[in-house]
Structure 1
Amino acid sequence: MDILIIEDEQLGVEKLMRLIKSIDESIQIVGNTRSIKSSVEWLMQHEHPDIILMDIELTDGQSFEIFSHLSIKSMVIFTTSYDEYALQAFKVNSVDYLLKPIKKEELKNALDKFQEWQLKFSSPSVNIKELINGLRQQQPKSWRSRFLVKQGQKLVSIETSEIAYLYAEGRLSYFITWDKQKFVLDYTIEELEEMLDPQQFYRANRAFIIHIKTVSQIHNYFNGKLKLELQPATDKEVLISREKAAEFKDWMGK
């Protein structure tokens, strides 16, 4: 097994090397890059390894940008100090997502997972694209657990369980917490819909995503529509279209 390490901190590189060798001395570490630029250059000049251990926060940005520069033919184990990128990580060639400090057992499990998948999909007729697609189908969906948002001059982490509803207004998106605090988000409503657990959050219409517990009353409205009252209250009209009414009732009743 060949591994490329993309990590910008020397101590982090050294620790990963020690962990890898303690797991399996036969693993070959074929290189170490420390930025988006150097990683893209390395991958353009070398045969892609079996696995890339990829830190998300690099000196010149987030490593997800590497995927926009070239087609990566390796599987990736992401390493990071934050869990807010998990959903984005599983949209690319991700085997696993490990939070720092990396533990030997977790890294070994990730490497074992890759080898199991490799054996399962090993066939002369299976190419790398089919392998990646097969792995993605086996990966559990990961829902957003928190958002990092601005509060005055500081940043605060708000768990999604604290959110009553989210809405779009103009070009911006906001969410309201159960204690009536309002925060702005750097995502569209469409992007937020993909991030949130559909068992807890529902896309009511083009502007609103609501938590199941925020609905205080449901009223029949004109032309088969439903009108919702939310708690905390909002001065905006929240309507469910006739086409979505049955689906919404089913969601509320689960």
Structure 2
Amino acid sequence: MNVFIIEDEELAVRKLTRLLEEVDPSLRVVGTAPSVRASVKWLESNTTDQASAPDLILMDIELADGQSFEIFEQTTVSAPVIFTTSYDEYALRAFKVNSIDYLLKPIKRHELEASLEKHRRLSNGQGVDSAPRIAIDALVQQLRQQVTPTDYRRRFLVRHLSQWVPVEVQDIAFFYSESGVSLFRTKANQKFSLDYTLDELEAMLDPEHFFRANRQYIVSINSVQQIHPYFNNKLKLTLKPDPDEEVLVSRERASDFKKWMGK
């Protein structure tokens, strides 16, 4: 089976590829793409070639240049899709397109196995359109229960020089991604790396205290010192300690960010 992965975090691509190999060594990842534009280009170049045409697409919803739903508006997607994301708010739209399943990050092996088995059953002479209808209200309720754990992460065990040290979540100023690696900065301006993607970290953190400002940053409410209007309806944040680059809240999240800060 040929699999095409649409995901904008390099670490997540590597983890998903490794998980697919563990679940079924016969699966072949024939391509990856980090954005809507790259996905459309790849699909239009490879779907006519039987050797590289995907039998299944694993698709993250939030990409570097927009939401993956835009792919369906720009090109024909003939292969069934398994959406992967941390956001249950997209569940309704996800199941209205060519999707056969929906996996919440961090993806668990047994859930991926179940999705692949579902795909095999549907492909065995039935086709995706004959899949049983899913009760959307029940689905959304189930996703909310999964994406909002009752016990959020309280500390991380990280490598420091030749030893492992615990760092309390309350002492972390912000998490960020740099060259495909996830890191965090403490309020004391110490830097550590983590073996989690930002999507996985977002699901672990209490949304009362942490906010996903953009695809590269998750900020603690206590680290935000100033909020400045920015062009195109974005917001520019002044954080403590100072990050190495500008931290902008995307236009789509600016309203939610202001509500979060004003609670």
TM-score calculated relative to the size of structure 2: 0.51
Following superposition, the deviation at residue 82 of structure 1 comes to 1.1
Cα distance, 1:151–1:101 mapped onto 2, change above 3 Å: closer
For the 8 Å contact 1:149–1:155, the answer to whether it is kept is no
In structure 1, distance between residues paired with 2:59 and 2:6: 5
2:56 maps to which of 51, 59, 66: 51
Query: Is residue 2:34 matched to residue 1:34?
Result: yes
1:92 maps to which of 91, 97, 101: 97
Structure 2 residue aligned with 1:3: 3
- Partner SS, residue 88 of structure 2: coil
TM-score calculated relative to the size of structure 1: 0.53
Query: Is residue 2:21 matched to residue 1:21?
Result: yes
In structure 2, distance between residues paired with 1:142 and 1:107: 20
For the 8 Å contact 2:122–2:128, the answer to whether it is kept is no
Equivalence map 1:1-254=2 (5 Å): 1-47=1-47, 48-121=53-126, 131-135=127-131, 138-143=132-137, 144-145=140-141, 153-155=258-260
Contiguous gaps of at least 5 residues in structure 2? 48-52, 145-252
**Aligned length in residues:** 144
Percent identical residues? 49
For the 8 Å contact 2:6–2:60, the answer to whether it is kept is yes
Cα distance, 1:111–1:154 mapped onto 2, change above 3 Å: same
- Partner SS, residue 96 of structure 1: strand
Following superposition, the deviation at residue 151 of structure 1 comes to 6.8
- Partner SS, residue 89 of structure 2: coil
* Structure of larger gyration radius: 1
Cα distance, 1:59–1:132 mapped onto 2, change above 3 Å: same
Following superposition, the deviation at residue 81 of structure 1 comes to 1.0
In structure 2, distance between residues paired with 1:151 and 1:33: 28
Structure 1 residue aligned with 2:159: none
Following superposition, the deviation at residue 150 of structure 1 comes to 5.0
Following superposition, the deviation at residue 139 of structure 1 comes to 3.2
Q: Larger relative contact order (C-alpha < 8 A, sep ≥ 6)?
A: 2
